[in-house]
Chain A
Amino acid sequence: MDSFDLVLSRNEVVGLLGPNGSGKSTILRMIAGYLQPTTGLVRVAGFDVVRQGLEARSRIGYVPEDVPLYTAMRTREFLSFMGRVRGLPRTDLGPALDAVVERLSLQRVQSTLIGKLSRGFRQRVAIAQALLGRPALLLLDEPTNGLDPRQIIELRETIRLLAGEVAILVSSHVLAEIERVADRAAILLDGRLLDVFPLDGVPPGGLEETFLRLTADEAPGPSAGGRA
């Protein structure tokens, strides 16, 4: 990663766009505290992710790309475990679980083994655990991967609903997804942030044009490997 400078405000959805291998997951992992930057600083709600890791991580909800979950646990059992790990007091745990279960429409799979859930439900469970403890920042890594069209629409609605309460950084290589859910787009290529711009002024299809222009400007030349 190199020259990445981005500030997110509360109640804002920023879409991190870039081709496969551009560094989207690496950036999210650095913000989430899983990877440490060799230089630079990542702050979440004022806390340094490296030096004040516990404080920063308790303010982050993170959904990795492959949606890793404990498949031998039941949905509510898993959410309860993650809630306790996230430091929710025992008295607040029940109401917090009820709230995320209702918000993500998980009522009918509360007692189901996670290993038996569909990809769509797994994605919802993963988002539900990320919301426990009321994070200031929600990180979603390629959240629509593997979802069917209906599940994608539902997830889009969920993200828009959550946008009222928490800052969201969502990565995707699907332009249309970012165009639909994000307030701003951040274009990433080869580990470098090329541009960040609001999407409200961009006409339909305009993001595609901007993305192509920015990435073409930065693409290596055909013979010398330099920049065009």
Chain B
Amino acid sequence: MSRFPILVDKEIRALFLSPIAWILIAVFLFLMGYSFTLTLFSTSAATLVHIFFQAAGLLLLLVPIITMRSFAEERKAGTLELLLTAPVREGELVLAKFVASLVVVVVMIAATGAYAGVLGWFGTPDWGAIYGGYLGLVLLAATLVAIGVMFSAMTSNQVIGAILAIGVSFLMWTLDSLAQLLPTGLERVFISLSLLARFTPFATGAMYASDFAFFITVTALALFVAVRALARR
């Protein structure tokens, strides 16, 4: 029998039993609600584009706070030794922590669906763009969670793990700005690695297979590094 569902269940319980997840969800929803109300009354436009970009910006900061405890806490408390000497694969454990953290972030994002409901009730929004934006947010969240889990697997200090994850996430988000200063060949490479450049089409209602592939590839790569980091002990 696979241990994966058992591990996911334990991780989700641990996350929702901790006040951190609830505080982060509350802060996220308060800031998003404030921004949504302000923009709606000032522009009267039935769109969530600005909300998607603001949500993405907040996720860069909040996701590492959710993921920082995943391995670092277990390593520090010694419970990682207990888990890794049980008949559990490192890959199962990494995937379980990834899925559990992603569930928290998806709950956070899904709660903003109320704004789409408000737009649909009072106006005629472009639903395709809204679905695309939410899909983009979930893909971005998956990538950020994977990066956070990766850094958490590399250290026993939660704060260091979070700071490294925030740093790398922000760097990847803004790589397209840096690209403007580079020669043409390198410019393309940097733009293609930019989270912002990959997220923008989703947020504005366009979807490209290459952007899907990018988010999935970076997520898989970060999870692979996390598994290797766990194996090196």
State whether A33 touches B85 (Cβ < 8 A): yes
Which residues of A have CB within 8 Å of B10? Answer: 81
Q: How far is the CB of A137 from chain B (nearest CB, A)?
A: 12
Residue of B nearest to A133 (CB): B87
State whether B78 touches A66 (Cβ < 8 A): yes
Is A119 engaged at the interface, CB distance under 8 Å to the other chain?
A: no
Chain B proximity mask over A49-83: 1 for CB below 8 Å, otherwise 0: 00001110110101010101111100000000110
Q: Which of A2-10, A84-92, A178-186, A206-214 contacts B (4 or more CB under 8 A)?
A: A84-92
Q: How far is the CB of A62 from chain B (nearest CB, A)?
A: 5
State whether A72 touches B77 (Cβ < 8 A): no
Is B79 engaged at the interface, CB distance under 8 Å to the other chain?
A: yes
Chain B proximity mask over A11-40: 1 for CB below 8 Å, otherwise 0: 000000000000000000100111100000
Residue of B nearest to A54 (CB): B87
Is B1 engaged at the interface, CB distance under 8 Å to the other chain?
A: yes
Alpha-carbon separation in the docked complex, A175 to B42 (Å)? 79
Q: How far is the CB of A132 from chain B (nearest CB, A)?
A: 10
State whether A86 touches B85 (Cβ < 8 A): no
Which residues of A have CB within 8 Å of B17? Answer: 72
With an 8 Å Cβ cutoff, the count of chain B residues facing the other chain is: 20
Give the contact-size bracket for chain A.
Answer: 20 to 34
State whether B6 touches A84 (Cβ < 8 A): yes
Is B126 engaged at the interface, CB distance under 8 Å to the other chain?
A: no
Known pairs A81-B10, A85-B3; A35 contacts B83 (CB<8 A): no
Residue of B nearest to A80 (CB): B6
Which residues of B have CB within 8 Å of A70? Answer: 14, 79
Chain B proximity mask over A87-122: 1 for CB below 8 Å, otherwise 0: 101000000000000000000000000000000000
State whether B81 touches A86 (Cβ < 8 A): no
Is B86 engaged at the interface, CB distance under 8 Å to the other chain?
A: yes
- For B10, B17, B82, the residue with the greatest tally of chain A CB atoms inside 10 Å of its CB is B82
Residue of A nearest to B3 (CB): A85
Which residues of B have CB within 8 Å of A87? Answer: 1, 3, 87
State whether B86 touches A68 (Cβ < 8 A): no
Alpha-carbon separation in the docked complex, A194 to B41 (Å)? 81
State whether A57 touches B86 (Cβ < 8 A): yes
Known pairs A33-B85, A54-B87; A81 contacts B6 (CB<8 A): yes
Is B216 engaged at the interface, CB distance under 8 Å to the other chain?
A: no
Which residue of B3, B82, B88 contacts A68 across the interface (Cβ within 8 Å)?
B82
State whether B7 touches A35 (Cβ < 8 A): no
State whether B78 touches A58 (Cβ < 8 A): no
Alpha-carbon separation in the docked complex, A72 to B88 (Å)? 21
Q: How far is the CB of B205 from chain A (nearest CB, A)?
A: 43
State whether A84 touches B3 (Cβ < 8 A): yes
State whether A32 touches B7 (Cβ < 8 A): no
Known pairs A35-B233, A81-B6; A68 contacts B84 (CB<8 A): no
Is B89 engaged at the interface, CB distance under 8 Å to the other chain?
A: yes
State whether A34 touches B79 (Cβ < 8 A): no
Which residues of A have CB within 8 Å of B85? Answer: 29, 32-34, 57, 60, 62, 64
Which residues of A have CB within 8 Å of B86? Answer: 57, 82, 85-86
State whether B14 touches A68 (Cβ < 8 A): no
Known pairs A35-B233, A66-B78; A85 contacts B87 (CB<8 A): yes
Which residue of B82, B88, B89 contacts A64 across the interface (Cβ within 8 Å)?
B82
Known pairs A72-B17, A81-B10; A33 contacts B79 (CB<8 A): no
A-B contact pairs, 23 of them (CB 8 A): A29-B81, A32-B85, A33-B85, A34-B84, A34-B233, A53-B87, A57-B85, A57-B87, A57-B88, A62-B85, A64-B78, A66-B78, A68-B81, A82-B82, A84-B3, A84-B6, A85-B6, A85-B83, A85-B87, A85-B88, A86-B87, A87-B87, A129-B82
Residue ranges of A at the interface with B (Cβ–Cβ < 8 Å): 29, 32-35, 53-55, 57-58, 60, 62, 64, 66, 68-72, 81-82, 84-87, 89, 129
